[in-house]
Amino acid sequence: MTRPILKLLALLAVLFAALPARAALQIDITQGTDGTIPIAVVPFGGGAPEDVAQIVSNDLARSGQFNTLAPTAMPELPIDPQQVNFGTWRAAKRDYVVVGRVRPDGAGYAIEFYLLDVSKGGQLTAMSVAASRAELRMGAHRVADIIYEAILGIKGAFATRIAYVTESGVAPYRTYGLEVADSDGFNPQTVLESREPIMSPAWSPDGRRLAYVSFETRRAAIYVQDLYTGRRERVASFPGINGSPSWSPDGGRLALTLSKDGNPEVYVLDLATRQVQRVTNSSAIDTEATWLPDGSGLVFTSDRGGRPQTYQVSADGGTPRRLTFDGAYNARPSVSADGRYLTTVQGCGGGFCIAVLDLKTGASRVLTKGPMDEAPSFAPNGGMLLYAASEGGRSVLKVVSVEGRANTRLSFQQGKVRDPAWGPFRQ
């Protein structure tokens, strides 16, 4: 039986290992960063309840684009641009240096920072970012976004959020949780708790709502929940499978996997009218649809060719076109926001790895080592991928750069976590 079939059957019986619902995440760099930009984020002055400079440094390292420097290896610790000796930093082989301070500002803080170009011996940018005490970490992420964009010309994705599913307890007292956290895994918040399984969270384009599968009525149904008001609504509860929700770019439709007409197929649900349109029609299993960024079509998993591969089809239906050919197994597709890259779970060495396909050039690259990697989800800037993995009996979340230069582990203290989804840019 193929993995997509097993995954669809798992909609009826999902098993996770025990996990505290609000456990904090840890960060470790697990791969080298050759070919990245050398930068130093010097500890900020002023004092604050969070180490803002370290948060910024961790963000930049996690992107796979930067090679950061530990404070203990820094040749000097200035907090003002006037204190920076550019010759010293050239000798330390740093291209950029960030200095700054965090000062109280009303009920919150002002994060004042300077990004300095070492080779030119001058300032590239400077800014003050305001943040409440509760949002100080998010303020640090915004600083990292500014630095990322100033150097690379690409919008940073650190001040975003991720969603994922957890489980705590043991049968018959298991509790499933739908969690939302910052992009680095800190500040987890429980959106929903249930005695029955929760699956497949998907972010709306405005970041306000989550669609997901819940078994709270003892059979699969798809719900949409507003993260700000808590209001939730059941939008699909057809006989059989109701799975794999994916938002259209305009936020008005959901692509779904339904078996209401017999075979699992891809459908599109109009959220305003509640009308469903069948997109695929095959004797094979068609599932895990995700939208193209322009809304014109869908990419989905199908075993219509004998083994699971990904296909593209118009949102109105038609003849699908096969996209993946490297590897005998490709499933769980996700498309980057610019439409350039397609990521899949690819069979590798008896296990499963995360691979990325350049849709422009046709070049394919395996980014991870397995053995049980799954559920890849692009950052909104397309530069990183969030996915679930298994390490030494533990379930972890990881972030890998699209180039494969850096892999960061966001690991729970214990237990397992599944179905991660990276949210959009915050509006």
Domain of residue 76, CATH code: 3.40.50.10070
| Structural domain includes residue 353 | yes
Least Cα distance to 112 among 123, 98, 101, 104 occurs for 101
- Give the pLDDT of residue 107: 87
- Give the pLDDT of residue 27: 53
H-helix segments, 99-250: 136-152
Over residues 298-319, the pLDDT tens digits come to: 999 999 999 999 999 999 999 9
Average pLDDT, the chain: 90
Asked if 168 and 301 sit in the same domain, the reply is yes
Over residues 102-148, the pLDDT tens digits come to: 999 988 999 999 999 999 999 999 999 999 999 999 999 999 999 99
| Structural domain includes residue 396 | yes
179 strand-pairing partners: 164, 190
- Give the pLDDT of residue 14: 32
Q: What is d(CA 58, CA 60) in angstroms, rounded to the nearest whole number?
A: 6
| Structural domain includes residue 369 | yes
Q: Report how far apart the first and last C-alpha atoms of the chain are (Å, whole number).
A: 43
Q: Total domain count for the chain?
A: 2
- The one-character DSSP state at 154 is S
Which of 152, 177, 211 is the last residue before a domain boundary?
A: 152
301 strand-pairing partners: 287, 310
Asked if 317 and 267 sit in the same domain, the reply is yes
pTM for the whole thing?
0.91
| Structural domain includes residue 427 | no
> Of all helices (H) and strands (E), which one includes residue 176?
strand 175-182
Percent of the chain past pLDDT 70, that is, above it, reads: 91
Which of 152, 186, 219 is the last residue before a domain boundary?
A: 152
Residue type (1 letter), 293: P
Asked if 130 and 211 sit in the same domain, the reply is no
Asked if 19 and 53 sit in the same domain, the reply is no
Copy the structure tokens of residue 81: 């641009």
Asked if 147 and 189 sit in the same domain, the reply is no
In 3-state terms the chain splits into helix, strand, coil percentages (rounded to 5) of: 10, 45, 45
Asked if 143 and 170 sit in the same domain, the reply is no
Q: Are 4 and 266 in contact (CB under 8 A)?
A: no
Which of 123, 152, 181 is the last residue before a domain boundary?
A: 152
Asked if 139 and 186 sit in the same domain, the reply is no
Asked if 166 and 239 sit in the same domain, the reply is yes
| Structural domain includes residue 267 | yes
Asked if 110 and 167 sit in the same domain, the reply is no
Asked if 167 and 287 sit in the same domain, the reply is yes
- Give the pLDDT of residue 33: 55
Contacts of 6 (CB under 8 A, 6+ apart): none
Domain holding 98, by residue range, is 35-152
- Give the pLDDT of residue 137: 96
Q: What is d(CA 377, CA 333) in angstroms, rounded to the nearest whole number?
A: 9
Task: Name the stretches of the chain with pLDDT < 50.
Answer: 1-25, 413
- Give the pLDDT of residue 416: 75
What are the Cα distances from residue 252, in Å, to 10, 135, 147, 202, 271?
28, 31, 34, 14, 6
Asked if 57 and 117 sit in the same domain, the reply is yes
Residue owning tokens 């899949």:
344
Q: Are 422 and 207 in contact (CB under 8 A)?
A: no
Asked if 206 and 302 sit in the same domain, the reply is yes
What CATH number corresponds to the domain at position 269? Answer: 2.120.10.30
What are the Cα distances from residue 299, in Å, to 54, 147, 211, 313, 325?
39, 34, 18, 7, 14
Contacts of 371 (CB under 8 A, 6+ apart): 349, 350, 351, 352, 390
